[in-house]
Amino acid sequence: MLVIGGVVLLFSNLDAIVESAIETAGTQALCTQVEVDSVEISLTSGAASIYGFSIANPPGFSNAEMVSFDELSVAFNLENTSGEQVHIFSVVARSPHVHYETNESTSNVDTISARFESEEDVNETDEEAAAVHLIIDDILIENIQGTLHSANLPEPVDVSLGTIELSNLAGTPENLASQIMAPLMAQIASVAAQALIQATADILSGAAEAVGEQVEGALDEVGDQAAEALESVGNLFRRD
């Protein structure tokens, strides 16, 4: 009876257990706070939904969320899942939002990306000590939207940051967090940086065009005034 009670308790609290695991593994891998509003798991259909997934800005930046997902859909393989291994068919996230922010020396996304440079040795150690091994066949994060915040911009600029798809991932929860976030952050950093450069260039081009129009207008006005003066002088001579 005690064992049965323990199993019932485990499954009745499974949503909260997974929510806590995601937050713990994500925070450890990224060294910044990862939060989840809620998790809903259906063991009968082999599906789960993760709501309100967010990654906080690293220290040195604003209090805004760096990355936020309204919902992630997960489909897992019940037949190949046990206490030691969880097999996930797919993870899909649509239209997540990225808050890309720069300070005097770097960006929030680059700061997080730099933390994955020496992950390989740590991941091997984690994998040996892990109690649970995860397998993910496919991850699709599509239509990533972003907002650029920089001192070089007079106001935030909205941009599209593309889509990323990953396949055949395996490892511990911490290891998987690194395998997913490293390429995701790298793509976001690259596309957002290019978009920031383009937005800054557009602003400078617009400013230069506005100055040119002002100068052209001033020259036209001076020319009109000079023409009027010459016409007045000519009229004086014609009177004589």
pLDDT tens for each residue of 7-30? 333 344 567 777 888 888 888 888
- Which one-letter amino acid corresponds to residue 226? A
Q: How is residue 150 written in tokens?
A: 């920089």
Domain ranges of the chain: 2-199
Phi-psi region of 196 (alpha: psi -120 to 50; beta: other; left: phi over 0): alpha
Please give the pLDDT value at position 229: 47
CA distances from 224 to 65, 155, 219, 232 (A): 56, 38, 9, 12
Q: How many helices (H) and strands (E) does the chain have?
A: 5, 10
| CB-based contacts of 200-206 (< 8 A; 24+ apart in sequence) | 200/150, 200/152, 200/153, 203/152, 203/153, 203/154
Q: Which of 183, 39, 9, 168 is nearest to 109 (CA)?
A: 183
Please give the pLDDT value at position 144: 92
* Grouped pLDDT means (10 residues each) for the chain, 240 residues: 34 68 83 90 85 92 92 86 82 91 90 72 48 86 91 87 92 82 86 84 59 46 49 50
Tens digits of residue pLDDT in 134-164: 889 999 999 999 999 988 888 888 989 989 9
Q: Rounded CA gap, 221 and 235, in Å?
A: 21
Q: Rounded CA gap, 156 and 99, in Å?
A: 10
Please give the model's pTM, rounded to 2 decimal places.
0.72
